[in-house]
Structure 1
Amino acid sequence: MIQQTTSEGDRVSIAQIEAAINIWRIRNPSMFETDVLVLCAEARCLADLYGAMIFTREASVSRETLTHAQLVALTGALA
């Protein structure tokens, strides 16, 4: 389960995003389409964010900067 911390305000950690991706991968396993591995939409939009955070070396992001799809995928992983 993903834990939210209140000490850092309204931020989402890279660990929380990774956990949400893993939850979506368990719920909707990846599929192959013509030799290409395809993630479900929820995992895909969070994976884009995760990759950007790794590239920019961010440990967390403000919840306000997330897209609607990213917020839905993140909160949906908590359900």
Structure 2
Amino acid sequence: MLFLSIQDLEAAINYWRGRSPASGEELHLCLEAAALAKPYALMIIQGAQRVPLDMLDVAAKSAIEKYQKLPK
């Protein structure tokens, strides 16, 4: 089973926020950052340092996969 660390999740959220900053009066996050924000928040509440990739929903998996394919 593959895992995603909280640090990697935070880096992906920051990447997507930098690429597409929050917008509107409500400061809506872009789709990718919003999809990753829920598992990130749950990890913080639970004190978890990693999450199994298969526990992410489709939108979060897609956002993290796109991020991981970027040249580093």
% identical equivalent positions: 38
User: What does residue 36 of structure 2 align with?
Assistant: 46
Q: Runs of 4+ in structure 1 displaced over 6 angstroms?
A: none
Q: Which has the higher strand share?
A: 1
Unaligned runs of 5+ in 2: none
Which of the pair has more CA radius of gyration?
A: 1
Unaligned runs of 5+ in 1: 1-8
TM-score normalised per structure 1: 0.80
Q: Which has the higher helix share?
A: 2
Q: 2:54 pairs with 64, 67, 70, which one? A: 64
The size of the alignment, in residue pairs, is 69
* Deviation at residue 32 of structure 1 after TM alignment: 2.2
TM-score normalised per structure 2: 0.88
